[in-house]
Amino acid sequence: MNVVPRRPQARTVFVSALVLGLAMVGGGEGTVTAQVPDPCALLTVDEIQQLTMEASAGDGVSSSLESVRTAACRYAWGAGVNRLKLDVVIKEASQMFPGMNPDQVKQRLLESAKAGTADAVIPDVGEAAVFTSESPYYASATAALKGRIVAVHVDGRIARERKDQVIALLKAAVSRL
C-alpha cells in the first residue's frame, strides 16, 4: 500500500503545473538577467518562515532560463513528511501566454481558479491574481503584473492549509517588483 500522497493528474488548471515546471527546469544555478528581477530578492527569510515554525528556512537558490526570460528562487527545508519547498518564479507573460494580449492573459489567469474548490481570485494584487491548489500538498498564488507573471508555489503537507500565508507571500513579492 502506498501511503505517500500522489500528485493528481494534470487538469485544466495549468498555472500551478507550469510554474513548478519552470522552477525545476534548468537544473542549476544561473545568473538572473536585468530583464527579469531576482526572485530571491522579493521575499525575506522572515516572511517565508511564516509558512511553518517547525524548521527554519535558509537562503533561496536562484536559477534562470535566460532564453525564455524566466527566473526562479527555491527555498527548501525540513525532511521526510515535514519537508517543504517554496518556489518564487518570475516569467515574462508574453513567454507564458504567447500571442495573447494583456487582457487575454488576465482572463486566462482568472479562469484558472475553479469554483467549488480551494481556488480563489485574489483581489487588489497586480492586474489579476489567483490562488490555486491541486491537492492539500500543492498550492500556488500567481499574479500578472507589468507584463510579468509572478508565482509563489508551495510543495509540502501544509501547502493548502497555509493558503493565507501563501497569498501574503505573493502580495509581498509583487509589492517589491
Tell me which of 18-27, 130-139, 161-170 is least confident: 18-27
**Could you tell me which of 136, 50, 32, 151 has the C-alpha nearest to residue 96?**
151
pLDDT digits (tens, 9 = 90+) for 46-105: 888 888 765 677 788 889 887 778 899 999 888 888 888 999 999 999 888 999 999 999
With cell 521526510, the residue in question is: 80
For the chain, the structural domain boundaries read 14-175
- Predicted confidence band at 44 (pLDDT cuts at 50, 70, 90)? confident
User: Which region holds residue 69: left if phi is over 0, alpha if psi is between -120 and 50, else beta?
Assistant: left
pLDDT value of residue 141 = 98
Q: What Rg, from alpha-carbon coordinates, does the chain have?
A: 15
Res 10 pLDDT > 70: no
Mean pLDDT of the chain: 80
Q: Are 78 and 52 in contact (CB under 8 A)?
A: yes
pLDDT value of residue 53 = 61
Name the 3-class secondary structure at 110: helix
Region 167-176: mean pLDDT is 95
The residues that bridge with 107 in the sheet, in sequence order, are: none
**What does pTM read for this prediction?**
0.78
pLDDT value of residue 34 = 43
Q: Specify the higher pLDDT residue, 107 or 83.
A: 107
